[in-house]
Amino acid sequence: MSAPIALIVGSLHYDIMVEASHLPRKDETAVGSKWYPKFGGKGGNQAVSCAKQGAPARMLGAIGADEFGQFLRHGLSQAGVDHQHVVEVSNVGSGMSVAIMDAAGDYAATIVSGANLQIEPARLVQPDLWHDVGLLVLQNEIPEAVNLAAATEARRRGIPTLLNAAPFREMSREFKSLIDILVVNSVEAEMMGADQVCCLHSAADAAKKLAAQFETVIVTAGSQGLAAWTANDDAFQLPAEKVKVVSSHGAGDAFIGALAVGLLQEIALEPACRAASAAAARHVAGQTA
């Protein structure tokens, strides 16, 4: 039998990275030291992360008929991601972002969604899209109508759905009911109604509160670690591995990719989270493997 595939439905962004000593304040013009293009978009990053960490990955998304789109498709191909369901649209440019990273490795970014808003929900019912799929991975950088169509089809086929609810936005009750695993960081957890997350104990409280709406909840708390809570009231906390920060940009996507790999391999949630946390730590430390 073929290995189960992670289907990632989500965004693709051409990232322009700018390095500077600090993040600019309102009305400030900061002087940067370096800039470079980078493959991005939460959907694209998570698909590449899955593929690089050993799971077959398939991507459904949209790019523009431009050089940014060519760059993004090449990035998927180079990582070994199946990109036959990434369509090129001619009436709008590819998604892109500008991210500024400071000397400490922290960053701030602005995205322009472009072609990512042109994904048609009807594409989610194509039978060949779901061939050998064992897990659906979603984020919030594409319209909810697309996420809802994907999660509905996954539920119909008995395939679990993992949602990385980033960036935060209000979600319909119908969509929430289709999510099997919710992953949020501390800010997103607070915006979804949890109390302030400042440590592992408060992350666990946040996960428990959100578990009233979702079957399984994982709250990541950056350098503190993570906490998880399931509908069966099974809970655990994992402290983060201490590493020297090179860049936090993309660490969450590295976590999701590794978590998806563990779930596809039918590893229990806690060891899967432990492996995902280690992958995120390697990413923050600037390691590629």
Predicted local confidence at residue 120, as pLDDT: 96
Residue 197 lies in a domain: no
Say which residues have a Cβ less than 8 Å from residue 236's Cβ, sequence separation at least 6.
227, 228, 270, 273
Residue 234 lies in a domain: no
Residue 225 lies in a domain: no
Predicted local confidence at residue 40, as pLDDT: 93
Residue 11 lies in a domain: yes
Residue 228 lies in a domain: no
Predicted local confidence at residue 150, as pLDDT: 98
Predicted local confidence at residue 38, as pLDDT: 93
Range of the domain at 63: 5-22+35-179+241-284
Residue 30 lies in a domain: no
Regions of the chain with pLDDT less than 70: 1, 247-249, 288-289
Predicted local confidence at residue 1, as pLDDT: 57
Residue 67 lies in a domain: yes
b/e code 130-144 from CB counts within 10 Å (16+ = b): beebbbbbbbbbbeb
The CATH number of whichever domain residue 133 belongs to comes to 3.40.1190.20
Domain count, the chain: 1
pLDDT tens string 2-33: 789 999 999 999 999 999 999 999 999 999 99
Residue 200 lies in a domain: no
